[in-house]
Amino acid sequence: MNPVMKIILVLLLIGSPILPQSDFNGLGNIYRFELNNAPFPHQDRANGYTRNGKLYSTEEHYSDSTTLVYIPKYFTPGKKIDIVVYFHGWYNNVDSMITQFDLVKQFYDSGLNAILIMPEGPKNAPDSFGGKLEEKGVFSKFINETLDSLSRKLNTTISLGNITLAGHSGAYRVIAYILLRGGLTEKISKVILFDGLYADVEKYSYWLDHYNGKFINIYTPKGGTKRESENLMECLTAWNIPYKLVIEDELTDSILRDNRIVFISSELKHNEVVSKNRQFTKFLSAK
C-alpha cells in the first residue's frame, strides 16, 4: 500500500477532527466542547479495556471528553429548545460518525427545530460502556453543562425543552441507563435505536410502560438484535401495550407518525440502517 493510501485509510478509521465552523457546508454551525460531565474519562476505564486479548488503552480510547453541538442554519430559538442526543457505536468516534452516516445533513434535512448533541463515547473501541452517563443524575448534569457552554458561546440563555435519544449499535447501553437513572427521564419524548437492542430490554420496557415517549427500533436479521427486539415485542403484547411491526420496504411516514412504538425489520446490513435509506432523517421527522 502506498503512503497516500495509508493516510486515507487512517483518516477513514479514526475520523478527521471536525473543527468549529461558522458555516458547516452551508448547513449551520458546529461547536466543540470539552466537558467535565462527558462520558469519559471514567474510573472504570482508568486501566483501559481488554477484549479478546487486545488492550484498548485509556489514553487512546477513554480520555476524550469532546462533545460536538450542531445548530442547523434554519434553527429558530423559542422559550425552550428541543435537543437530540446521538451516541455512536463500536469502533467509531464523534468525528468519523458524522462522515460515515451523514448525520449533519440528515439532521438538516429533517427540518427539526432542535439542536444535535454528540458526545464522544468509547473512542474507536469495541465497547458499549457509557462512562459517567451510566451514573445516577449525571446525564442531567451533562445536558446542563452542554447548554451552559453553548449559552456562553452564543451569549444567550437556553432553556431545555424535549429530548430525543438516538444511537447506533452499542449505544443501546448508555441510552438504557439514561432512561433508568439519568435524571431527565420526564423530558425524554423519543428514543431511536439503530440496530442496537442487544440487551437491557427491562430498562426499555419500564420506560415504555411508565412514560408516553415515542420509540422507534430498526433491527436487522444478522446484526444480533433480532432476538431481543422480538423479546420486547412479546413483552409489550403480554402487557397489552400497542405497537407496530413493519418491514422497512413497507414503512411509510404515516406509520411512523401514527404509532407510538414502531419496530422496523430491515434486510440492510448493520451499518446501513442509519443512512442508507436516510433513516435518521425519517425517524427524526416523525412526531
Say whether the peptide bond before residue 119 is cis (omega within 30 degrees of 0): no
Contacts of 113 by beta carbon, 8 Å cutoff, 6+ apart: 74, 75, 76, 78, 82
Say yes or no to pLDDT of 7 above 80: no
Q: How confident is the model at residue 190 (pLDDT cuts 50, 70, 90)?
A: very high
Task: Of 201, 219, 2, 28, give the one whose Cα is nearest residue 112.
Answer: 28
* pLDDT tens per residue, range 60-101: 999 999 999 999 999 998 889 999 999 999 999 999 999 999
Mean pLDDT, the chain, whole residue set: 92
Q: Provide the residue ranges of all domains of the chain, joining segments of one domain with +.
A: 18-285
Closest to 27 in 3D by CA, of 111, 97, 94: 111
Tell me the pLDDT band of 18, cut-offs 50, 70 and 90: low
Level-2 CATH architecture, domain 18-285:
3-Layer(aba) Sandwich (3.40)
Between CA 208 and CA 261 the distance in angstroms is 8
pLDDT of residue 241: 96
pLDDT at 119 over 80: yes
Identify which has the larger pLDDT, 10 or 238. 238
pLDDT for 28 = 96
- Per-residue pLDDT, averaged over 245-259, amounts to 97
pLDDT at res. 25: 79
Give the mean model confidence (pLDDT) for residues 8-18: 43
User: pTM of the full predicted structure?
Assistant: 0.92
Share of the chain above pLDDT 70, in %: 92
The pLDDT assigned to 223 comes to 87
Residue 249 CA, chain-centre distance (Å), reads 23
pLDDT attached to residue 156: 86
Q: What is the pLDDT of residue 17?
A: 58
What's the CA gap between 247 and 186, in Å, rounded? 30
* Cα distance between residue 41 and residue 53, in whole Å: 22
Average pLDDT, integer, range 191-197: 98
Partners of 33 in beta bridges: 67
Bridge partner residues of 163 (DSSP): 83, 188
Q: In which residue are the cell numbers 465552523 written?
A: 21
Residue 10 confidence (pLDDT) above 70: no
**Average pLDDT score over residue span 8-20:** 44
Please determine, for residue 203, whether its predicted confidence score (pLDDT) is greater than 60.
Answer: yes
Task: Give percent of the chain with pLDDT exceeding 90.
Answer: 87
